[in-house]
Amino acid sequence: MQKDEYSEPSTISTPPLPTFPLAISHVFCIFATSKPTTVMTLEKTLATALQKALQDLYQLTIDADEKLIQPTRKEFQGDRTIVVFPYVKIARKAPDMVANEIGTQLQKELDIIDSFNVVKGYLNISIREAFWGEYLQSNFQNTQYGIFPTIQEAPVLIEYSSPNTNKPLHLGHVRNNLLGHSVSKIAMACGHPVVQVNLVNDRGIHICKSMVAWLRYGNGETPETNGVKGDHLVGNYYVAFDKHYKEEQQELIAQGRTKEEAEQKAPIMLEAREMLRKWEAGDPTVRNLWQQMNNWVYGGFDQTYNRLGIHFDKVYHESETYLLGKALVEEGLNKGVFYKHEDGSVRVNLEAEGLDEKVLLRKDGTSVYITQDIGTAQLRYEEFHPQQMIYVVGNEQNYHFDVLKLILGKKLEKPFGDSIRHLSYGMVELPNGKMKSREGTVVDADDLMDAMYDEAKASTEALGKFQFTPEEADKLYEMVGLGALKYFILKVDPTKNMLFNPEESIDFNGNTAPFIQYTHARICSLLRKADEQQLAWNSKMAAIPALNDEERELIKTLYQYPSTVLVAGDNYSPAVIANYIYDLAKQFNHFYQETPVMKETDEQKRLLRLQIARLTAITIHNGMDLLGINVPERM
């Protein structure tokens, strides 16, 4: 499979450091010169000052933990809150007295604190308005907002997609691809070098099933002769195999065989097993057919990946790595950490680790899934020396990765064993239940994208403000349709199962991509009008007018975006970004309805609000980009 032409830079460029007045620059510089987790946020600044205050007041030593500082609840006055109860016993004073003493000390230490109040042992701190105004001024032109400089360190290697070459990509693969791609983009935004890899499962009994069915029933059919995408064509024969396999089982059962015997002795299954043995023996006829049918599938995969906006830095194939895995199994056998079972298979006993026995090589010497995963991990370590290897795979494989990590780390004592992390995600279900590939009851990824395009077309035209050329309309439908699909999937916590509802995903008024995309287009329209009226909004203001509540709250939300990116990176969760962007879009629409922008008569206030709108648009654009979603400038 060839790397596609998706035009995305492999690294994130480092934006220039913003400059601030000296009195407050140490507080909210959003770009770090080292790891982004060391960035000096408002929370970090307050935590550091709290650490000093507790030492000065009560000779109490604590870590300067940002988690000690929380946003103030909306029903109370203030921006950040410190809970003082943990320090009451040491201070030997009432909670309110301790809170007042700490608040007084912090206000002496930090000129960004305007005031504080105490409510039953909770210290609520109000930040000076100048802080928020200067923050906006320093960032509203920053198109790299929320993107941290790349750290010079070993890369994070992220494996996702991992399709089989016996069927097209379906809805379950879509969640895998979107999650892996988004997690990769978020990690890069956090400053980590990332290598995105794909492991194609191109060998094994499941591949042979499609091959046997094509030989039996294909009559020489090819993608060119019938105009079907190659992955769809091969998938049809995988379904055909299952159909005929079941028929042959029923015939054997009717002849008096047991169900288990019928499953083992069905002629079509015996053919598939024989084909697998011939493949591993290098039979040229079998290998040529295998290569031909795999190439059909690769061509189809590439079309689907390109449409989804997915790309990989490296594509591995199981057929190229399983022999290395077999060699490592032999190494473990020689060391005595694996053993040969009486049936001839090679196994590892993990009962002491709370698991069970795991087959590493079948009794006929053929490999299993974990064999090639062992070899592939070794190969990747030799090629990239990654600090971490993240596998984006569904939660039905939790046991598999527990075993893989134990084998590589504890049994084979590989230096990269502990670097393996399984990013386990829940299944995607439909209103009518689970999907089954071999029975042909899957939602095909290509059909799904076509359906989302049609939904987007109908919904967009229903808005009644449609003035586009056919080419512009086609691009917009694709952007809205794919955006709806991606957002609906990524807004759900990866660990949870989800129910996919296409109609709900395209709603322009809900927690959806179309709602966010429309908000971005509305802001772009607003800024175009400002440019048409030649308003000088795109330069810093000499004096910042007083902020009203709507302005201040929106700037506070925008301030949270860089730290939200870091939280999403720490938790490998695009859902953190998705739900932040939705809340931001919702808040901006409320701001826009309640606060006049172009109709504001005070020129300075009008410019300020345009700058708030600009930073909101940048944040929506950058956040949605981390989800792999494009946002239009017109809708």
Q: How far apart are CA 484 and CA 515, in angstroms?
A: 9
Domain ends where: 408, 427, 443? 443
Secondary structure of 485-549 as H, E, C letters: HHHHHHCCCCCCCEECCHHHHCCCCCCCHHHHHHHHHHHHHHHHHHHHCCCCCCCCCCCCCCCCH
In the block, which residue shows the tokens 């590989």?
A: 414
Beta strands in 388-441 (DSSP E): 388-394, 420-425, 428-429
Please report which confidence band the pLDDT of residue 443 belongs to, taking 50, 70 and 90 as the band edges. Answer: confident
Query: Do 165 and 277 fall into the same domain?
Result: no
Q: How far apart are CA 200 and CA 177, in angstroms?
A: 13
Secondary structure of 553-616 as H, E, C letters: HHHHHHHCHHHHHHHHHHHCCHHHHHHHHHHHHHHHHHHHHHCCCCCCCCHHHHHHHHHHHHHH
In the block, which residue shows the tokens 């990332």?
A: 194
Whole-number pLDDT of residue 401: 95
Q: How many other C-beta atoms lie within 10 A of the C-beta of residue 505?
A: 24
Query: Do 587 and 453 fall into the same domain?
Result: yes
Query: Do 323 and 218 fall into the same domain?
Result: no
Q: Which has the higher per-residue pLDDT, 184 or 22?
A: 184
Query: Do 527 and 460 fall into the same domain?
Result: yes
Q: Does residue 487 register a pLDDT over 70?
A: yes
Q: How far apart are CA 271 and CA 211, in angstroms?
A: 10
Question: How much of the chain, in percent, has pLDDT values that exceed 90?
Answer: 80
What number is the average pLDDT over the span 275-292? 95
Q: How many other C-beta atoms lie within 10 A of the C-beta of residue 443?
A: 16
Cβ atoms 60, 54 nearer than 8 A: yes
Name the strand (E) or helix (H) holding 91.
helix 85-91
Q: Does residue 126 register a pLDDT over 60?
A: yes
Whole-number pLDDT of residue 30: 31
Q: Does residue 70 register a pLDDT over 70?
A: yes
Cβ atoms 158, 197 nearer than 8 A: yes
In a domain, 547, yes or no: yes
Which token pair is 479?
A: 């952007």
Query: Do 460 and 596 fall into the same domain?
Result: yes
Range of 620's domain? 445-626
Number of H helices, E strands in the chain: 23, 14
Please choose, from the candidates 598, 588, 617, the residue with its C-alpha nearest in 3D space to the C-alpha of residue 521: 617
> Assign residue 286 a region: left if phi > 0, alpha if psi is -120 to 50, beta otherwise?
alpha
Please report which confidence band the pLDDT of residue 429 belongs to, taking 50, 70 and 90 as the band edges. Answer: confident
Query: Do 454 and 412 fall into the same domain?
Result: no
Whole-number pLDDT of residue 315: 96
Domain ends where: 139, 172, 189? 139
Query: Do 478 and 537 fall into the same domain?
Result: yes
Q: What is the pLDDT of residues 375-427, one digit of tens each?
A: 999 999 999 999 999 999 999 999 999 999 999 999 999 999 999 999 999 98
* 346-349, strands of its sheet edge to edge: 339-340, 346-349, 357-361
CATH number of the domain to which 427 belongs: 3.40.50.620
Query: Do 176 and 36 fall into the same domain?
Result: no
In a domain, 17, yes or no: no
Whole-number pLDDT of residue 539: 85
Verdict on whether the full-model pTM lies above 0.75: yes
In the block, which residue shows the tokens 């990524």?
A: 490
Q: Does residue 470 register a pLDDT over 60?
A: yes
In a domain, 149, yes or no: no
Q: Does residue 33 register a pLDDT over 60?
A: no
Whole-number pLDDT of residue 506: 85
What number is the average pLDDT over the span 464-469? 76
Q: Does residue 27 register a pLDDT over 80?
A: no
In a domain, 489, yes or no: yes
| Mean of all residue pLDDT scores within the chain | 89
Please report which confidence band the pLDDT of residue 629 belongs to, taking 50, 70 and 90 as the band edges. Answer: very high
In a domain, 57, yes or no: yes
Whole-number pLDDT of residue 40: 57
What number is the average pLDDT over the span 207-233? 96
What number is the average pLDDT over the span 476-493? 96
Q: Does residue 37 register a pLDDT over 90?
A: no
Please report which confidence band the pLDDT of residue 533 belongs to, taking 50, 70 and 90 as the band edges. Answer: very high
In a domain, 68, yes or no: yes
* 122-127, strands of its sheet edge to edge: 69-71, 80-83, 122-127, 113-119
In a domain, 394, yes or no: yes
Between 156-165, 462-471, 505-514, 621-630, the lowest mean confidence (pLDDT) is in 462-471
CATH number of the domain to which 119 belongs: 3.30.1360.70
H-assigned helices in 161-283? 171-189, 205-217, 223-226, 230-254, 259-265, 267-280
Query: Do 490 and 615 fall into the same domain?
Result: yes
Q: What is the pLDDT of residues 136-187, one digit of tens each?
A: 999 999 999 999 999 999 999 999 999 999 999 988 899 999 999 999 999 9
Secondary structure of 126-175 as H, E, C letters: EECHHHHHHHHHHHCCCCCCCCCCCCCCCCEEEECCCCECCCCCEHHHHH
Query: Do 66 and 29 fall into the same domain?
Result: yes
Q: Does residue 577 register a pLDDT over 60?
A: yes
Please report which confidence band the pLDDT of residue 366 belongs to, taking 50, 70 and 90 as the band edges. Answer: confident
Which token pair is 290?
A: 């295998």
In a domain, 123, yes or no: yes
Query: Do 581 and 453 fall into the same domain?
Result: yes
Whole-number pLDDT of residue 36: 40
What number is the average pLDDT over the span 223-243? 95
Query: Do 403 and 359 fall into the same domain?
Result: yes
> Assign residue 218 a region: left if phi > 0, alpha if psi is -120 to 50, beta otherwise?
alpha
Q: How many domains does the chain have?
A: 4
Domain ends where: 312, 345, 374? 312
